[in-house]
């Protein structure tokens, strides 16, 4: 009987450098040529062999998920960790959520993040896995620590945390995503008012 073994990506410092180079090259080539770019072109841009790429990633979908996760980590990861730490302390919740929302708006406004999201929107019909990658590495990934941080607060009463997280995103973040889809950006004054009033609306509704 034929057996299959689970692929184990290379480890170690040298392998980590190669993996990072592949992800950087993949981001560049995905944005330049779309999801149809060949793995051989990504390998050439990373200055590694195609075999090396496949040693690290089982295929283009896994590589794209890594690219999306890497870009969103750069844009939003630090602000999420700071938010969780501050919500777990004694900081005023309004100040924490307002600062977090400002960081998120700034993060999703990065050119590479906007470009990746535009690529996903353009290719989602042919490659629905791209949309799943965005949700898993973006909204879904950051919903868990946000939910945990909000649930730990005794000054909030949130019976449906999943709904509350979507509402928070909708108030402070989604308007910017919608406008960016049309190549537009909200002016700074409107963006700030959306954040501050959005946080106030959220807390007014869920304050214990």
Q: In this predicted model, what pLDDT tens digit does every residue of 61-93 receive, in sequence order?
A: 889 889 988 888 888 888 888 888 887 776 788
Check whether residue 84 and residue 31 sit in a common domain: no
Check whether residue 196 and residue 98 sit in a common domain: yes
> Phi/psi of residue 207, each to 5°?
-65, 135
Output the CA torsion sign for 116, 120, 126, 131. Answer: positive
Output the CA torsion sign for 53, 56, 59, 60. Answer: negative
Distance CA 116, CA 122 (A): 10
The string of pLDDT tens digits covering residues 139-196 is 787 788 888 888 888 889 999 999 999 999 999 988 888 887 777 788 889 999 999 9
Check residue 92 and give its pLDDT.
85
Check whether residue 82 and residue 31 sit in a common domain: no
Check whether residue 89 and residue 145 sit in a common domain: yes
pTM surpassing 0.85? Answer: no
Report if residue 1 sits inside a domain. no
Check whether residue 102 and residue 191 sit in a common domain: yes
DSSP string, 45-113: HHTS-HHHHHHH-SSHHHHHHHHHHHHHIIIIIHHHHHHHHHHTTTS-HHHHHHHHHHHHHHHHTSHHH
Report if residue 2 sits inside a domain. no
Beta bridge partners of residue 156, listed in sequence order: 207
**Structural domain of residue 15, as residue ranges?**
10-57
Q: What average pLDDT does range 28-57 have in this prediction? A: 92
CATH number at residue 19: 1.10.10.60
The string of pLDDT tens digits covering residues 82-124 is 888 887 776 788 998 999 899 888 888 888 888 888 888 888 7
Count of domains forming the chain: 2
| Rounded alpha-carbon distances, angstroms, from residue 14 to 18, 55, 161, 204 | 6, 13, 42, 51
């Amino acid at each position: 009987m034929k057996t299959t073994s689970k692929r184990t990506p290379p480890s170690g410092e040298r392998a980590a450098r190669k993996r990072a180079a592949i992800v950087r090259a993949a981001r560049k080539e995905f944005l330049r040529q779309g999801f149809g770019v060949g793995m051989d072109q990504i390998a050439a841009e990373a200055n590694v062999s195609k075999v090396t790429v496949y040693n690290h990633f089982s295929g283009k979908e896994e590589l794209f998920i890594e690219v999306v996760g890497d870009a969103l980590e750069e844009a939003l990861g630090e602000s999420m960790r700071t938010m969780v730490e501050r919500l777990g302390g004694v900081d005023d919740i309004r100040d924490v959520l307002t600062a977090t929302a400002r960081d998120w708006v700034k993060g999703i406004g990065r050119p590479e993040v906007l470009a990746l999201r535009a690529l996903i929107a353009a290719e989602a019909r042919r490659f629905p896995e791209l949309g799943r990658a965005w949700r898993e590495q973006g909204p879904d990934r950051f919903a868990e620590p946000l939910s945990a941080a909000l649930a730990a607060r005794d000054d909030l009463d949130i019976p449906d945390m999943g709904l509350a997280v979507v509402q928070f995103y909708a108030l402070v973040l989604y308007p910017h995503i919608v406008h960016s889809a049309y190549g537009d950006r909200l002016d700074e004054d409107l963006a700030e008012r959306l954040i501050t009033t959005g946080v106030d609306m959220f807390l007014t509704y869920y304050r214990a």
